[in-house]
Amino acid sequence: MSDTIVAIATAPGEAGIGIVRLSGGESLEILDKIFVPTRGESIKEYKPRRLTHGKIIDPKTNQIIDEVLVTYMKAPYTYTAEDVVEINCHGGIVPVRKILELVLRCGARMAERGEFTKRAFLNGRIDLAQAEAVMDLISAKTDKSFDVAFGQLEGSLSKEVKNIRESILEMMAHITVNIDFPDEDIEEITYKELQDSANSIYERIEGLLESAQTGKIIKEGLHTVIIGKPNVGKSSLMNALLKESRAIVTEVPGTTRDIIEEFVSIKGIPLKIVDTAGIRETEDIVEKIGVERSKEFFNKADLVIFVLNASEPLTDEDKQIMELLKNRQTIILMNKTDLPMVLDEENIRKILPNKKIIKISVLEGKGLKELEDTIVEMVYGGEVRQKEVSFVTNVRHKDALERAKTSIQEGIEAIRQGLPLDFVEVDVRNCWEALGEITGDTVGEDVIDKIFANFCLGK
Ligand SMILES: Nc1nc2c(c(=O)[nH]1)N(C=O)[C@@H](CNc1ccc(C(=O)N[C@@H](CCC(=O)O)C(=O)O)cc1)CN2
C-alpha cells in the first residue's frame, strides 16, 4: 500500500476557507490523532462524505489549532481511489500551515506536485490524457479552453484514441491469424482489405492531428501582433479589444518593458496580443522590428493585425511594413473612418492582394465586431466546430499522434508493396503503441513522473 500524502488544496492568502487534503490508507488514523469531533463520535462513525464539525487539537500540547469541518471519503470511490480526508479550516496561511505541519508530524508525507491526480491515474480511475486535462482545466484562461479541457477530462480524446486502438487491435488479430495459420480455412484477408483498414486508421489519426492547430490556439492563445506606424490607433484598438473582453492581464517573464503582451478573449479564443505601440513611438517601427525581441514576437505571430490611417494616403513607412506582411496571415484595418476617407483600398491591394481588409473606427466602435468575426473565422477555418470535435491541445499527444501516423503510413506502404505480413504487423503495432502513450497504456515511469512534475502542488 502506498503511503499517506498531504497537501494544502486551496490557494494561499486571505480566502474564506482553506482545505488540507490527505490521501492514503492512514488518512483516517492520522485524522483521529488530531481531530476532536463536537458530538464525540468515534472515528468509525464518521459517515463517508458527510461533514463532521470539531476542532483540530495538537495532541502534544493540547492546544486548539482551529475549528474545522472534516470529510472522510472511503476508498475506492474517491478522487485518488484511496481513502481521502479533507480538513476544511479557516482560510489564511496560519491555520492551513499549522494543520499541515501537524498532519506531517502524525505520519503523513508531503505530496509531490500532482501526486493526488497521479494516484488517480495509477489506481486506474482516470487515464493519462484525463489526468493531463486536470492541469489544463486549472490553467485555462477562457471559457473555450476550459470547455475543451473539461471535455478531455470527461474522456472525449481518450475515447477516440481508444476506438482507433481497438480497430488497430482487430487488424493485428487478423494479421496474426493469417501469419500463424496461413493454410487453415480462415477468412483469407486480402491485402485490399488490409489497405482499407489501414487507410481508415490513417484518416482518423489525421483528423485528430488536424484539430491540433486549433487546439494549440485554444490552449495557448493566438499569437497576435498589432503593427502600424505611429498614431494610426494601435493602442486605442488594443484598449477597445481589452474593454470588450475584460482581458486577463498577465505578467510575461523576460519581456522587456516596451513590449506589452496581454490576453483578450474573442468569443472564447484567447488572443495573446503584443502591442508594438509599446515600442517607443519616436523610433522607426521598421527599424524596431529588426531589434531582437520585437523581431522574435513578430516572427512568432500566428496573426498580424496591420493598422492603417484611412484619412491619409499610404506613406513610405506603411509600404515598408507591408513588404514584411506578404507571406503572413494578416488582417488589414483601415482605421479612422470617422474622418474623411483618403486612403484608396485599391492601393493596398496592389501591394497586398488577397488580404482581408476591414474598415473600422476604433473611436466610434465601428467595425470591431467584423474584426472579431474575421478572427473567429480564421481560427476555425470558416465553420465554428463545436464540442463534437476533440481538440488535441497537448504537445505530447500531438507528438504521439505524429509517430502513430508515420507508422501507419509505413504499414500502408508495406501493404502496397505486398511485403510479408510480419512486416505490416510491426508497423501496425508501432502505431498502436504510439497511440497508447496518449492514454498512458504504453508509457514508462519516467514519462509519467515528468508529466506530473509540471502540476501544481496539492492537485
Ligand atoms: N472538496 C473537494 N472539491 C473538489 C475536488 C476535491 O477533491 N475535493 N476535486 C478534485 O480536485 C474536484 C472534483 N473532482 C472529483 C472527481 C472525482 C471524485 C470521486 O470521488 N470520484 C469517485 C466517486 C464517484 C461516485 O461514485 O460518486 C470515482 O470516480 O470513483 C471526487 C472529486 C473539484 N472539487
Pairing of strands 35-37, 84-90: unpaired
459 is in an annotated binding site: yes
- For ligand 1, whether the C-beta of 152 sits within 6 Å is no
Backbone angles phi, psi at 311, to 5 degrees: -95, 10
Confidence band (pLDDT; 50, 70, 90) for 230? confident
- Each residue's pLDDT tens digit, 117-143: 999 999 999 999 999 999 999 988 888
Separation of CA 42 and ligand 1 centre (Å): 25
- Each residue's pLDDT tens digit, 376-392: 888 877 444 444 457 89
Its ipTM equals 0.93
Residue 139's SS3 state is: helix
- Each residue's pLDDT tens digit, 329-348: 999 999 999 999 999 999 99
Give CA–CA dist 178/449, Å, rounded: 40
Separation of CA 73 and ligand 1 centre (Å): 10
Higher pLDDT, 147 or 282: 147
278 is in an annotated binding site: yes
Confidence band (pLDDT; 50, 70, 90) for 280? very low
Element (DSSP H or E) covering residue 100: helix 93-105
- pLDDT value, residue 424: 95
Which of 79, 135, 137, 456 most suits a substitution to test ligand 1, by most atoms within 8 Å of the C-beta? Answer: 79
Domains in the chain: boundaries: 5-111, 135-211+392-452, 220-385
- pLDDT value, residue 186: 55
- Residue with CA at minimum distance from ligand 1 atom 7: 79
Beta-carbon contacts of 130 under 8 Å, excluding residues fewer than 6 positions away, are 121, 152, 153, 154, 155, 158
- pLDDT value, residue 244: 58
Q: What is the CATH number of domain 135-211+392-452?
A: 1.20.120.430
- Give domain 220-385's CATH number out of 3.30.70.260, 3.30.1120.10, 1.10.760.10, 3.40.50.300: 3.40.50.300
Say what angle helices 421-439 and 156-180 make with each other, to 10 degrees.
160
Higher pLDDT, 279 or 74: 74
- Out of 21-30, 225-234, 259-268, give the one with best mean pLDDT: 21-30
- pLDDT value, residue 386: 45
pTM above 0.80, yes or no: no
5-111 fold: Gyrase A; domain 2 (3.30.1360)
